[in-house]
Amino acid sequence: MFKVRIITLVILVAAAGVGYFSYSSEINEESRFQFKLGLDLAGGTHLVYKADTSELPASDVSTSMDTLRDVIERRTNLFGVSEPMVQIEKSSVFAGGEREQRLIVELPGVTDISEAVRIIGETPLLEFRLVNQDVEPLAEGEELTQEIFDAMFTSTDLTGRYLDRAALEFGQGGTSGHVQNEPIVRLDFNRDGGDLFASITKENVGRTLAIFLDGDLKSAPVINEEITGGSAIVSGGFTPQEARDLVRNLNLGALPVPIELISTQTIGASLGKDALDKGVQAGMFGLIAVAIFLLVWYRLPGLVAVISLTVYIIIMLALFKLIPVTLTAAGLAGFLLSIGMAVDANVLIFERMREELKAGSDTESSTHNGFKRAWLSIRDGNISSIITAIILFWFGTSLVKGFALTFGIGIIISMFTAITVSRTFLYAFGKLENRGVIKFLFGSGIK
């Protein structure tokens, strides 16, 4: 008995320490453990881009999308955006057909959509294409469609995703093929890009290699020999400032695939704060109502449930900070729903305890048998909820994933607090005869 009470005291002290950590880290603006809020609570801009991966081999799609995400992250970080979130999202496998590749960009604190789009769109798309000499040139007045373009310029798979760095140089004139002091851009590829460039130039001597930036033809040199240095030169009649801007943007990352903006959303900071305040307020009112019900209906076990629920909330808030979890309105909903599941587990246990007490058992035996009888129902219900959370997280959109993550973590922690913490607290009361005031305190209902 003494050992159980010591464990109970340790749990209470540890919970108080964790609670203090959550509180102190939140009021300290310099702490790295503050809650991370999503756009719907903090305000900012939400952009959805569709990536065109139709010309990529299936084996390269995943790598190209990862590169695209890294490029956009570097771009948004350059402009001082606080903790931008860039993630890849695929359409549901149940939608049929190929999975559409989308890029979700969230920029906290940026409420000017045109500025946000400019930040993303300034990164150029770099492509190398071979000119197909067998295709007839366009007749006068004929429109250049995508189909004709693809026929005239054959993809080489060499794009900006292989670029290591870009540098500004000035033409030396003479036999270099460039005008004296003409601004030119040197492209240095990574190892894979250098090998691919060498292979392209070796196999296509005498052909023209067109270099495109954002779909515009910048240079079309003839391949005279294999180039093994891993570098290429782009000269497109740049002014010095244009060349500097191009070098800067390329070094920040050239897009490996074309992207198209398909959705925008802006949430003001005041609107996000209002949503957060109302969510917290609703949660507080709900918790108070639940606590009153537990205390009135279940009395002393109800008080244990309230304390256990408080421990549960403290653990969850600390995990949100440490993982960290980006809290959205949907995430808060998942958290509050998991609190309801934690209460439900305690209710099942107390109802089984009440049946044991009515049969004449003492408090210790009633606690033991009540938990034992309720465990199977709690286990099955929580496992089915965890499976649901996993499915929602795996197949859902970013909004649904926020709900599924907090809900799933909450279910796991609620099982711990209901089965371990609540039971330890009840065992700490010891073995008491079920009569008199003890019978009233461990009873339930209005009788």
What the block records as the tokens of 221 is 């040199």
CB 302 within 8 A of CB 294: yes
Q: Which of 265, 291, 309 is the last residue of a domain?
A: 265
Residue 274 pairs in a beta bridge with: none
Structural domain contains residue 447? no
Q: Percentage of residues in the chain with pLDDT exceeding 90?
A: 18
Whether 12 and 74 share a structural domain: no
Q: Which pLDDT band, with edges at 50, 70 and 90, does 292 fall under?
A: very high
pLDDT at residue 245 greater than cutoff 80: no
Whether 197 and 324 share a structural domain: no
Structural domain contains residue 273? yes
Whether 332 and 315 share a structural domain: yes
Average pLDDT along the chain = 82
Report pLDDT digits (tens) over 223-233.
888 888 888 88
Mean predicted confidence (pLDDT) in 289-308: 90
Q: Which of 247, 265, 283 is the last residue of a domain?
A: 265
Whether 25 and 126 share a structural domain: no
Mean predicted confidence (pLDDT) in 150-160: 86
Mean predicted confidence (pLDDT) in 231-241: 79
Whether 324 and 205 share a structural domain: no
Whether 218 and 130 share a structural domain: yes
Taking the complete model, does pTM exceed 0.75, yes or no?
no
pLDDT at 83: 62
Q: Which of 265, 296, 315 is the last residue of a domain?
A: 265
Instruction: Please report, for the domain that includes residue 8, its CATH number.
Output: 1.20.1640.10
Mean predicted confidence (pLDDT) in 367-389: 90
Q: Residue 64: which domain range?
A: 44-265
pLDDT at residue 95 greater than cutoff 90: no
Whether 20 and 90 share a structural domain: no
Query: How far is 133 from 155, CA to CA, in rounded Å?
Result: 14
Whether 121 and 132 share a structural domain: yes
Mean predicted confidence (pLDDT) in 167-171: 83
